[in-house]
């Protein structure tokens, strides 16, 4: 709300200048955790209990989870980093396998094959060449959207369009996770319902198109032309839906939200009067008072800070006393506190995502930010976070689009759905050497230095290596002497 209110208290006029009230993140009637989470449904039943038929409610608000990317920059960076690491590099090709074999042979001292090497590695895999023609843009574009949904909601849905189970796919599309619900039919059968602008539609599980048509009856046959490939982040909290792995960061994201809102309000209202002006004695006439009020109002808003007011009032100086109190606050303490808390909360958010801080744009000083941190962090990130998710994507795709019994003669097998990894793209040894070198990289390259051979003095220079060993031995002797040994 913007403006001022005037209150008449007998001979006293009181002006209250109201602050701007503009919500930075939309509806603030509920906190973020309440907007995202809701009471768990009763779908998670022990296997011995009866199955609850009908629509299974979402265990959390997936639309809010997707929009969370716009609330916090570190959260958004982690979502995109993980999604791109899972599928962004595409599937492995024959050239990838050949280059890896040659690299391993060279490392072992075995002569490489005499077969001609490709000029460059192919960027299009067999999967891409097969499925790109049935996608609106490309199969990689579909995968990118699915991976982003997977990291945001723990669920990724891919729509496969074909007329009958025995036909190859005629179209593959990304299906936004917030629009998909599971419909339980009985103890063994279920399908998916999709809410669209023109009503609700039913989609079958991949490979169950004809079965669902027969179970739902003739009235549903004409509309059943699509199947769903569901990639679910495994969780013990729901039988039918996945859960994202970053929900523990909601409280930290919410606190950052509140801090940003506080700072935003501070700067939005930074144009509050620099002072309070008291006119005691003679009552100011209405026209003059209106002018003073307008002058105070002119102090409100961005860009109006540090303005002053000058007034000429026609009266006897003995009848009017003017008192001015300076009220402005610089807010320097708030800025320092904001910086410290923001750094702490940023680390909490990336910890919940299990993403190395450097990949989220966070620099850590001291020992934790050592030169070899990134290579080590990338290896742990790939092996403990990304690799299991790539295995999950590959397994689901291999059992659906890569299953010869279900894909209608598509010509793809499970071996085709193997993803490239970030470790395939990085030479971690060379990266570690470059980070540790004292000589600038440009200078080393100009001198003909091969960074793939490691650190020069430690590995390639015998005198340097001997000096290093001698120094370590001397330090050990000094330590032993100082301890009385």
**DSSP string covering 368-437, please?**
GG-TTHHHHHHHHHIIIIIHHHHHHHHHHHHHTTT-TTTTTS----GGG--B--HHHH--HHHHHHHHH-
Residue 22 lies in a domain: yes
Residue 329 lies in a domain: yes
The domain tally of the chain equals 1
pLDDT value for 429: 62
- Name the pTM for this structure: 0.71
Is the confidence at residue 352, as pLDDT, over 60? yes
- 427 burial level (CB within 10 Å; 0-12, 13-18, 19+): middle
Residue 306 lies in a domain: yes
Interval 423-432: pLDDT, tens: 887 766 666 6
pLDDT value for 354: 93
23-29: list long-range contacts, CB under 8 Å, 24+ apart: 23/261, 24/260, 24/261, 24/264, 25/71, 25/257, 25/260, 25/261, 28/261
Residue 320 lies in a domain: yes
**Rounded to an integer, what distance in angstroms lies between the CA atom of residue 409 and that of residue 391?**
24
Tokens of 386: 């990304």
Residue 165 lies in a domain: no
Q: What range does the domain containing 268 cover?
A: 3-27+255-333
Residue 245 lies in a domain: no
Q: Residue 95 is inside which H or E element, if any?
A: helix 94-107
> Does residue 302 or residue 261 have the better pLDDT?
261
Q: Which stretch of 181-195, 240-254, 347-361, 468-482 has the lowest confidence by average pLDDT?
A: 468-482
> Does residue 240 or residue 480 have the better pLDDT?
240
Residue 269 lies in a domain: yes
pLDDT value for 88: 92
Average pLDDT value for residue range 426-445: 62
Interval 293-326: pLDDT, tens: 887 777 666 556 556 667 777 777 778 888 877 7
- At residue 31 the predicted structure's pLDDT band, cuts being 50, 70 and 90, is low
CB neighbours of 21 closer than 8 A, spacing ≥ 6? 1
DSSP assignment string, 182-214: EEE-SSS-EEEEEEETTEEEEEEETT-HHHHHH
Residue 260 lies in a domain: yes
């Amino acid at each position: 709300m913007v403006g001022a209110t005037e209150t008449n208290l007998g001979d006293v006029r009181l002006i209250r200048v109201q602050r701007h009230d503009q919500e930075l993140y939309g509806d603030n009637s509920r906190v973020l955790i309440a907007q995202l989470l809701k009471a768990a449904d009763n779908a998670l039943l022990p296997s011995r209990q009866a199955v609850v038929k009908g629509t299974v409610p979402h265990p959390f608000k997936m639309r809010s989870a997707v929009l969370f990317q716009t609330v916090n920059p570190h959260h958004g960076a982690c979502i995109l980093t993980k999604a791109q690491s899972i599928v962004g590099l595409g599937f492995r090709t024959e050239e990838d396998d050949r280059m890896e074999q040659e690299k391993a042979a060279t490392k072992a001292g075995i002569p490489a094959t005499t077969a001609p090497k490709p000029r460059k590695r192919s960027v299009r895999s067999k999967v891409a060449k097969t499925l790109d023609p049935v996608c609106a843009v490309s199969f990689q574009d579909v995968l990118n959207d699915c991976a982003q949904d997977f990291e945001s909601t723990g669920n990724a849905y891919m729509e496969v369009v074909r007329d009958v189970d025995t036909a190859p796919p005629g179209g593959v599309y990304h299906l936004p996770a917030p629009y998909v619900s599971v419909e339980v039919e009985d103890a063994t059968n279920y399908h998916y319902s999709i809410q669209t602008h023109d009503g609700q539609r039913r989609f079958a599980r991949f490979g169950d198109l004809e079965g669902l048509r027969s179970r739902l009856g003739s009235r549903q046959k004409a509309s059943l032309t699509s199947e769903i490939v569901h990639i679910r982040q495994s969780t013990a909290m729901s039988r039918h839906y996945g859960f994202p792995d970053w929900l523990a960061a909601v409280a930290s994201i919410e606190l950052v939200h509140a801090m940003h809102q506080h700072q935003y309000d501070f700067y939005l209202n930074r144009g509050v009067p620099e002072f309070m002006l008291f006119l005691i004695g003679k009552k100011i006439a209405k026209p003059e008072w209106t002018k003073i009020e307008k002058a105070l109002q002119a102090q409100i808003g961005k860009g109006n800070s540090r303005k002053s007011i000058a007034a000429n009032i026609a009266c006897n100086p003995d009848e009017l006393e003017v008192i001015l109190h300076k009220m402005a606050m610089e807010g320097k303490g708030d800025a320092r506190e904001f910086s410290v808390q923001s750094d702490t909360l940023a680390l909490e958010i990336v910890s919940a995502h299990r993403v190395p801080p450097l990949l989220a744009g966070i620099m850590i000083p001291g020992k934790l930010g050592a030169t070899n941190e990134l290579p080590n962090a990338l290896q742990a990130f790939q092996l403990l976070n990304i690799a299991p998710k790539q295995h999950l994507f590959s397994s689901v795709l291999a059992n659906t689009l890569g299953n010869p019994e279900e894909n209608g003669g598509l010509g793809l097998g499970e071996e085709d759905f193997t993803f490239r990894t970030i470790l395939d793209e990085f030479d971690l040894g060379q990266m570690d050497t470059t980070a540790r070198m004292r000589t600038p990289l440009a200078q080393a390259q100009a001198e003909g230095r091969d960074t793939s051979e490691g650190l020069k003095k430690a590995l390639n220079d015998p005198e340097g290596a001997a000096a290093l060993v001698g120094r370590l031995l001397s330090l050990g002797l000094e330590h032993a002497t100082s301890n009385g040994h």
